[in-house]
Structure 1
Amino acid sequence: MASTALLFLLLSAFCVAAAAQQRGSNISRGSSLTPTSNSYWLSPNRQYAFGFYNQGDGYYLGIFLKGIPQKTVVWTANRDDLPVPSTATLHFTSEGRLRLQTQGQQKEIANSASAYSASMLNSGNFVLYNSDGDIVWQSFDLPTDTLLPGQRLSAGKELLSSMSETNPSTGLFRLKMQNDGNLVQYPVEAPDTATYAYYASGTDGKGDNVTLNLDDEGHLYLLNTNGSNIKNITDGYNNENLYRLRIDPDGIFKLYSHDLGQNGSWSILWRSSADKCAPKGLCGVNGFCVLLDDRADCVCLPGFDFVVASNWSSGCIRNFEEDICKSKDGSTKYTMSTLDNTWWEDASYSTLSLPTQEDCEQACLEDCNCEAALFEDGSCRKQRLPLRFGRRSLSNSNILFVKVGSTEVSQQGTKKEIRTDILVISVSLASFALIILVISGVLIHRKNLWAYKKISETGNVGLTEGVALRSFTYMELEKIHGRVRGNSIPVSSVKVLR
């Protein structure tokens, strides 16, 4: 009897411990976090933390691995919001709401009814409970770019890449668990059609409500609604390591492993593609991806430059000033540049059957709506800008024609600008010279008037500086002659104009 009671007590203790392990650390109403002091809530195994993490000039709220030297973020709340300052506070209010307060504004973090308590679980899942202990909200239901062991990606849900390793906002790529049972990767802005897919599990039609699952051994697989395994994406490894599945900013989703017995970094066990140019849209609009020594590089179309040189995804814009398509005589003001072996989204507005590539080139050149054309096997597809999802592809034997500014037109434009500059400078100098001339004339005229007035008043006929010879009347000469004799000045010294 005593042994039975002891066994019962041991089993009860074990169940309580297991329940506590599952529930995680208890976080009660009224608790709060700030970025600079108590900045996170730890899981019981001290592996995961929920709280603030520093990024650049501010802080984000999320879940990150705290138990390894390399801090790794696995979930971010409100990822597309700006980072918050160090004065921000997260409140688990007395009403059971999880609210972020910053600069006088409040934002709800968890879209749920009033919660009674919260926990950061050992699995990396942050949960809110009601008073009955039922989960009313959990971060596992709202993944960002990462899937953890025990977490599943349900039908219709997506993982969205981050913009970069230092910017957790929504990036360029997505991994979607489709309702048809297919797991597919697309560019963020592209529709769910096969044309834009760059990875697919090939399980469409294999069952309804298919989910993507990751277990503690690094086994990645798809289950249908009956719980049947319809595909193993990766084989299992061991349960001594940490695992996480992530769609990286480069658009490829990878299975990572971390050995808990070592202080090293994460290693990649599996990836959706070894081709780093496979993600469509990596180089933005009007740019295309090329592989250089197994490294992805982005190049702009001929006649284009990157919008932001340090950010390939910003795309490319024309590096010349667009002009009227045709001159008055009907001649075109553009030329065509060629690019071989590239793949682009087919957004053509017109497709022509033409025998030669020269015919396709000329057809685009003469069409003011055509900005590029793809020619392959007698098919000429006219397109407008922007061109999207470009990449170098040796399997494509097409030729791309791109309309660029004519050198002759550019030179004429340059000469016209030079002639205009010369004309402006010449007119300015002439106007300035005319103003100086007018001012000089006025000053000289006023000076002469003053000198003549002086002569009239004093009878002084000496040549004043700057005064020319003048004519005199006979009466004036008589008057002057009298004064000259009175002053013993020879009359011969007075010149008389006749």
Structure 2
Amino acid sequence: MANRDFPVNGKRSELLLLESGNLILTDAGEATAWSTDTISRYPAELRLHDTGNLVLQNIEGDVIWQSFDSPTDTLLPSQPLTKYTELVASRSHTNFSSGFYKLIFDDKNLLRLLYEGPEVSSVYWPYPWYKDWEGGRSPYNSSRIASLDSLGKFTSSDHFSFLSSDWGVSLQRRLTLDSDGNARLYSREEGSARWAVSWQAKSQVCEIHGICGPNSTCSYNPLSGSKCSCLPGYKMKKTGDWSYGCEPKFNLSCSNHAEIGFIQLKHVEFYGHDGNFYSNVSLETCKKLCLESCNCQGFQYRHIGDTIVPYCYPKMLLSNGQYTPSFGGDFYIKVPKTSLFSGNEEASGLGLGICPSDHAKPLSLFRVYAGSPENGTLKFMLLFAYGVGGVEIIVILLACGEIEHERLVTLVRDKKNKANGVTSWIEEIIDPTLEGKYDQAKMEALISLALQCVEEDKDARPTMSRVVEMLLHLENDN
């Protein structure tokens, strides 16, 4: 793209090849917006080759300028990526100006994916904790050149290579650094308008740095994709643009530790920006270390591998946050004790079992009792649906550790999972005073629905409309 950060007017712009051998792009006001800055003693011509290379050459056949030397976000087969070139992602799907992601050769001769955000920069591919030679890479070849062929093979001077999933077939191909920071190889069959992904650098999009900006987390659902969420007590900094992340809605006092508390975010990890590292310290000690540092925004507390030794990582910046159910650690975010966050705010997009208070009031347990001949079970289910609007708050309380309701949810879920198919698991948890006077199938469906509503992953919980739909379906079965 010529002049991608200051695009010309869509009307009355011109691409001109001057007699001097200079190729220029003029805007509507006839000002030069971009040029090749070339001079030729002989007449020159501009040709688009079958490879996709746009070549400015003279009648002697000498190449004066070619587009392959100035890639934007895409590499075509036979187009080299060198120490002098780089791929730069677009800002978004509709904004083609320069984004925050680059594919480059670094000073160590290694091919990297780099995030250069508004405030910080970091390498996220290959994994930043890898040593230079890990993953089959070699830093000793200083030629710094990589290329893709038409059969789907990519090779690099640092010994990195890959084959597309459809390797061996000659197709139209392109390696593009997309606006989400992932490098993907696309293939298109002849006569088809569809580009199919045949390789990608990152299988987990939430591992891409900066994808949700600072003070936020990225969560991934196989059905709906990735989702960004602000941390409790934070709001989006720039509406509609997650790359700027979130900003706090509170001010923290550095001097008065009694006014500061922590909110536990289960299975949340923030990569980088460690103030220090402490091993074999208690949770309370880790909290104290963060409290004593004005710049500490929170801390990571986890066990690594099979070790029983806990590790404490105070964080000075909250960047590259992601929620992963399999992650064996928690994050504790520093907030004022006086801050009152709504249940919806704390659970928004996280589903992490965040506790609004260590002294949350216990909730009464819903039970169904035998009544009049009318369908009491259905009435309860409809009342349940009307009350689902407040289920976000209930879910948070149910998911909080040291709290009674977590054990109740675990007990019911275990009974359901261990059912042998002979005796109904409902009979093991239902109030015995009902004496079997209930519709077993409907009760089983109701409790299964309730378990879905308290799933730890918010994206796994049914929507309000889905809950009502399921309840109405049970009603129609009468």
Bin for the TM-score computed over the shorter chain = 0.5 to 0.7
Preserved CA contact (<8 Å) 1:196 1:280:
no
| Aligned partner (choices 245, 266, 271) of residue 345 of structure 1 | 271
CA apart distance, 1:147: 1.0
Supply the distance in 2 between the matched residues of 1:368 and 1:216 (Cα, whole angstroms).
55
Match of 2:236 in 1: 306
Q: 1:87 to 1:197 in 2, by over 3 A?
A: farther
Shift of 1:323: 5.1
Point out where structure 2 has 5 or more consecutive residues left out of the alignment: 303-308, 342-478
1:325 aligns with 2:254: yes
More strand by share: 1
Q: Does 1:152 align with 2:80?
A: yes
> How is 1:100-249 mapped onto 2 (pairs within 5 angstroms)?
100-102=25-27, 103-114=29-40, 116-130=44-58, 132-155=60-83, 157-178=85-106, 180-189=108-117, 190-191=121-122, 196=128, 202-205=136-139, 207-222=141-156, 231-234=161-164, 236-239=167-170, 241-249=171-179
CA positional deviation for 1:133 = 2.2
- Match of 2:336? 405
Distance (Å, rounded) in 1 between the aligned partners of 2:103 and 2:339 = 48
Shift of the 105–339 alpha-carbon distance from structure 1 to 2, 3 Å rule, reads same
Does the Cα contact within 8 Å between 1:179 and 1:209 map onto a contact in 2?
no
Q: Which of 289, 295, 309 is residue 369 of structure 1 equivalent to?
A: 295
Q: Distance in 1 between matches of 2:336 and 2:257?
A: 13
Structure 2 counterpart of 1:336, from 256, 259, 262: 262
Deviations 1:338-376 (A, max 9, x none): 223333233233445563112222332354332222233
What's 1:251 paired with? Answer: 181
Per mean C-alpha deviation after superposition, the further-off stretch among 374-383 and 146-155 is 374-383
**Matched position secondary structure for 1:149:** coil
2:68 is paired with a residue whose SS is helix
Would the aligned equivalents of 1:176 and 1:184 in 2 still touch at CA under 8 Å?
Answer: yes
Q: Cα deviation per residue 1:190-211 (whole Å; 9 max; x = unaligned)?
A: 3559764899963223633142
Aligned 8 A contact 1:222 1:232 in 2:
no
- Report the counterpart of residue 444 of structure 1 in structure 2: none
Structure 1 residue 137: Cα displacement: 1.1
TM-score by length of 2: 0.60
Residues 138-194 of structure 1: per-residue CA shift (max 9 Å, x gap): 110111111112212124532121111211112232222446553322223535597
One-letter amino acid of the structure 2 residue matched with residue 380 of structure 1: C
What SS class does the counterpart of residue 198 from structure 2 fall into?
strand
Alignment partners' CA distance in 2, 1:365 and 1:373: 10
Question: 2:252, 2:80 → 1: CA distance?
Answer: 54
Cα pair 1:341 1:394 within 8 Å, conserved: yes
Change (3 A) 1:93 1:367: same
Separation in 2, partners of 1:230, 1:364 = 41
Q: In structure 2, how many angstroms separate the alpha carbons of the residues matched to 1:271 and 1:155?
A: 22
Q: What is the alpha-carbon distance in structure 2 between the residues aligned to residue 129 and residue 364 of structure 1?
A: 63
One-letter amino acid of the structure 1 residue matched with residue 177 of structure 2: I
8 Å CA contact 1:336, 1:365 repeated in 2: no
AA in 2 matched with 1:107: A
Correspondences of 1:72-91 after superposition (within 5 Å)? 76-91=1-16
Backbone CA RMSD of aligned residues: 3.1
Larger radius of gyration: 1
Judged with a 3 Å threshold, the aligned counterparts in structure 2 of structure 1 residues 197 and 124 are, in CA distance, closer, same or farther, namely farther
CA contact (8 A) 2:177 2:183 kept: yes
CA distance in 2, matches of 1:400, 1:220: 39
Q: Which residue of 2 aligns with 1:275?
A: 204
Q: Is the 8 A contact 1:152 1:211 kept in 2?
A: yes
State the distance in 2 between where 1:201 and 1:139 align.
32
In the alignment, is the contact (CA less than 8 A) between 2:271 and 2:319 conserved in 1? yes
User: Structure 1 residues 192 and 288, CA, compared in 2 at 3 Å: closer, same or farther?
Assistant: closer
Structure 2 counterparts to residues 52-67 of structure 1, below 5 A: none
CA contact (8 A) 2:92 2:179 kept: yes
Which structure has the higher relative contact order (CA within 8 Å, separation 6+)? 2
Percent identical residues:
28
- CA 370–220 in structure 1, closer or farther in 2 if over 3 Å, else same: closer
- Count residues in correspondence: 324
Residues in 1 aligned to 2:84 and 2:284: alpha-carbon distance in whole angstroms: 47
In structure 2, what is the Cα distance between the partners aligned to 1:266 and 1:191? 30
Is 1:185–1:197's contact at 8 Å kept on the other side of the alignment? no
